[in-house]
Amino acid sequence: MKFYLSLVLLITSISTATVSIADTTLYHIVSQEELQTLTQDNIYSPLSIELEGYIHFSKLELIMSYANDAYIDRKVLFLLQVTFDDDDEDLRWIGDNPDYYRGLDLTMVEQKAEFTRN
Protein backbone atom coordinates (compact mmCIF):
# COMPACT_ATOMS: atom_id res chain seq x y z
CA MET A 1 0.00 0.00 0.00
CA LYS A 2 2.87 2.38 0.79
CA PHE A 3 4.33 1.78 -2.68
CA TYR A 4 0.98 2.56 -4.30
CA LEU A 5 0.58 5.81 -2.35
CA SER A 6 4.17 6.85 -3.08
CA LEU A 7 3.68 6.23 -6.78
CA VAL A 8 0.37 8.12 -6.87
CA LEU A 9 2.01 11.13 -5.22
CA LEU A 10 4.95 10.88 -7.60
CA ILE A 11 2.73 10.72 -10.67
CA THR A 12 0.65 13.64 -9.42
CA SER A 13 3.72 15.82 -8.93
CA ILE A 14 5.20 14.92 -12.30
CA SER A 15 1.96 15.41 -14.20
CA THR A 16 1.79 19.06 -13.12
CA ALA A 17 4.79 19.93 -15.31
CA THR A 18 3.92 22.21 -18.20
CA VAL A 19 4.65 20.96 -21.70
CA SER A 20 3.89 22.28 -25.14
CA ILE A 21 0.91 20.60 -26.78
CA ALA A 22 3.06 19.98 -29.86
CA ASP A 23 5.43 17.70 -27.96
CA THR A 24 5.06 14.23 -26.44
CA THR A 25 5.96 13.61 -22.79
CA LEU A 26 6.79 10.01 -21.98
CA TYR A 27 8.23 8.06 -19.07
CA HIS A 28 10.81 5.34 -18.56
CA ILE A 29 11.29 3.23 -15.44
CA VAL A 30 14.85 2.32 -14.56
CA SER A 31 16.50 0.82 -11.50
CA GLN A 32 19.17 2.71 -9.63
CA GLU A 33 21.78 0.10 -10.56
CA GLU A 34 20.86 0.09 -14.26
CA LEU A 35 21.01 3.87 -14.47
CA GLN A 36 24.47 3.89 -12.89
CA THR A 37 26.01 0.98 -14.77
CA LEU A 38 24.43 1.45 -18.21
CA THR A 39 25.29 5.14 -18.61
CA GLN A 40 28.45 6.17 -20.43
CA ASP A 41 29.30 9.74 -21.47
CA ASN A 42 25.85 10.79 -20.18
CA ILE A 43 24.10 8.39 -22.61
CA TYR A 44 21.87 5.77 -21.00
CA SER A 45 21.82 2.57 -23.09
CA PRO A 46 19.85 -0.24 -21.46
CA LEU A 47 20.15 -3.85 -22.57
CA SER A 48 16.99 -3.43 -24.65
CA ILE A 49 19.03 -1.31 -27.09
CA GLU A 50 21.29 -4.28 -27.79
CA LEU A 51 18.53 -6.91 -27.71
CA GLU A 52 15.65 -5.09 -29.41
CA GLY A 53 17.17 -1.89 -30.79
CA TYR A 54 15.22 0.54 -28.63
CA ILE A 55 14.32 1.86 -25.16
CA HIS A 56 10.79 1.23 -23.95
CA PHE A 57 8.87 4.34 -22.92
CA SER A 58 5.34 4.65 -21.61
CA LYS A 59 2.47 7.03 -21.18
CA LEU A 60 2.01 8.17 -17.59
CA GLU A 61 -1.23 6.25 -17.07
CA LEU A 62 0.55 2.92 -17.74
CA ILE A 63 3.47 3.42 -15.33
CA MET A 64 1.74 1.78 -12.34
CA SER A 65 1.02 -1.46 -14.18
CA TYR A 66 4.58 -1.66 -15.54
CA ALA A 67 6.13 -0.92 -12.15
CA ASN A 68 4.09 -3.69 -10.54
CA ASP A 69 4.86 -6.19 -13.28
CA ALA A 70 8.14 -5.94 -15.17
CA TYR A 71 9.99 -4.20 -12.34
CA ILE A 72 8.62 -6.13 -9.36
CA ASP A 73 12.06 -7.56 -8.47
CA ARG A 74 13.79 -4.17 -8.20
CA LYS A 75 13.85 -2.25 -4.92
CA VAL A 76 14.79 1.32 -5.88
CA LEU A 77 13.38 2.69 -9.12
CA PHE A 78 13.59 5.98 -10.94
CA LEU A 79 10.92 7.42 -13.18
CA LEU A 80 12.48 9.46 -15.97
CA GLN A 81 10.33 12.10 -17.66
CA VAL A 82 11.33 13.03 -21.20
CA THR A 83 9.52 15.31 -23.65
CA PHE A 84 10.19 14.43 -27.27
CA ASP A 85 9.66 16.67 -30.26
CA ASP A 86 6.82 15.26 -32.32
CA ASP A 87 9.15 15.16 -35.33
CA ASP A 88 11.84 13.13 -33.51
CA GLU A 89 12.60 10.34 -35.99
CA ASP A 90 14.03 8.09 -33.26
CA LEU A 91 10.69 7.95 -31.42
CA ARG A 92 8.36 5.40 -33.00
CA TRP A 93 4.96 4.17 -31.95
CA ILE A 94 3.53 0.68 -32.36
CA GLY A 95 -0.03 1.07 -31.16
CA ASP A 96 0.14 2.68 -27.72
CA ASN A 97 3.76 1.63 -27.19
CA PRO A 98 6.37 4.33 -27.76
CA ASP A 99 9.94 3.18 -28.30
CA TYR A 100 13.09 5.27 -28.66
CA TYR A 101 15.58 3.86 -31.17
CA ARG A 102 18.84 5.17 -29.70
CA GLY A 103 20.58 5.68 -26.39
CA LEU A 104 18.99 8.34 -24.21
CA ASP A 105 21.05 11.48 -23.68
CA LEU A 106 20.36 12.20 -20.02
CA THR A 107 20.25 15.94 -20.72
CA MET A 108 16.83 15.18 -22.26
CA VAL A 109 15.51 14.04 -18.87
CA GLU A 110 13.35 16.81 -17.45
CA GLN A 111 12.63 15.10 -14.15
CA LYS A 112 14.03 12.07 -12.39
CA ALA A 113 11.99 10.93 -9.43
CA GLU A 114 12.91 8.08 -7.11
CA PHE A 115 10.36 5.70 -5.69
CA THR A 116 10.88 2.58 -3.60
CA ARG A 117 9.14 -0.72 -3.08
CA ASN A 118 8.09 -1.56 0.46
Q: 75-90 pLDDT, tens per residue?
A: 778 999 999 998 999 9
d(CA 30, CA 21): 26
pLDDT of residue 108: 96
Number of H helices, E strands in the chain: 4, 9
- Better-scored residue on pLDDT, 7 or 85: 85
**pTM of this prediction?**
0.78
Percent of the chain with pLDDT over 90: 50
pLDDT of residue 12: 55
d(CA 91, CA 101): 6
The domain limits of the chain are 2-16+26-116
**Do β-strands 109-116 and 76-85 pair in parallel, antiparallel, or remain unpaired?**
antiparallel
Torsion over CA of 80, 83, 110 and 52, rounded to 10 degrees? 30
CATH superfamily of 2-16+26-116: Protein of unknown function DUF952 (3.20.170.20)
DSSP designation for 54? S
- Better-scored residue on pLDDT, 61 or 115: 61
